[in-house]
Structure 1
Amino acid sequence: MDFYIPSDPGELVAFTAAAIAAVLGLLGLIAPRTALRLGGLDVRPDRRDGLATARSSGGFQAGLALSAILLAQDWLYLGLGGAFLLAAFGRLLSLMSDRSTSLIGIGFLVLQLCLGAAPLLHVFGLV
């Protein structure tokens, strides 16, 4: 079985978004402290449960993104895009209701919107 790299521009956009999501997910899985610090978070010295949460969330994200890359099916790209758009919606709710507005939060909102829109643009034939 050969590794599939798309030649269609729309699918290449979705593939690239999945690759970025996989790298970010693997970062959370392998180096959770670094991933948390990128988000402006830290773990309390007396409680390390946050590391488990970062690892499991990173593993889930990496698994979804890698399955979209390896299987290259529109349904997986649809799931990946929908998941990132819902994550962006949650971040937007937090920015508005929790008053957690910061440059990091806005930057991650833009990243999640882009990672969510890219696969969906391909799935719906807009790219």
Structure 2
Amino acid sequence: MELAFPWPMSNGEWLAWSSAAVTVLFGLLLFFAPRISLRILRLQTTEAHPEAVSEARATMAGFYLGLGLCCVLLGAQPFLYMALGVSWLFTAFGRLVSMLSDSGNTFYNWISLVVEVALAALPLAFAFGLIP
């Protein structure tokens, strides 16, 4: 088996690949700059709990990097892009539930919700054949 970088060939694949690339960039930011990332996400660590920084690197960055890199490096596989889209869709759904039940109706959450829905829609549209 020859290892080759699968470059996107169609418009739909480019859109799905772009969502995966953004996911990888988020993962790299969380992995290499967790404190800055937590500040962007409006989360705060305390000196009593230094493990919060490792949570950003391990759980958050690991998931983004793992799924995003699989989509980028193994490309053009609809089930991978479906997993990426559904993951972003559940992220958006979790944010929406929080906005409705946790008094989280803020401008930041609305912008984040729009970004998450877009990052979900791009790979799902390709995976379901809506964009060739």
TM-score (norm: length of structure 2): 0.91
Equivalent residue for 1:63? 66
5+ residue gaps, structure 2: none
Q: 91, 111, 116: which is aligned to 2:115?
A: 111
The CA deviation string for residues 67-88 of structure 1, in whole angstroms up to 9 with x for no partner, is 0111111111000000010011
2:12 to 10, 13, 18: 10
2:92 matches 1:99: no
RMSD over equivalenced CA pairs, Å: 1.0
**4+ aligned runs moved over 4 Å, structure 1:** none
After the TM superposition, which residues 1-127 of structure 1 pair with which residues of structure 2 at under 5 Å, given as runs?
Answer: 1-56=3-58, 57-72=60-75, 73-127=77-131
- Residues 28, 58 of structure 1: 8 Å contact kept: yes
Distance 2:64 2:126 in 1: 20
Note the C-alpha offset of 1:48. 1.5
Q: Percent identity?
A: 38
Structure 1: segments with no counterpart, 5+ residues:
none
| Corresponding pairs, count | 127
CA displacement at 1:50 relative to structure 2: 1.6
TM value normalised by structure 1 = 0.94
Taking the aligned partners of 1:106 and 1:53, their CA distance within structure 2 comes to 25
Matched letter for residue 70 of structure 1: L
Task: State the secondary structure of the residue aligned to 2:7.
Answer: coil
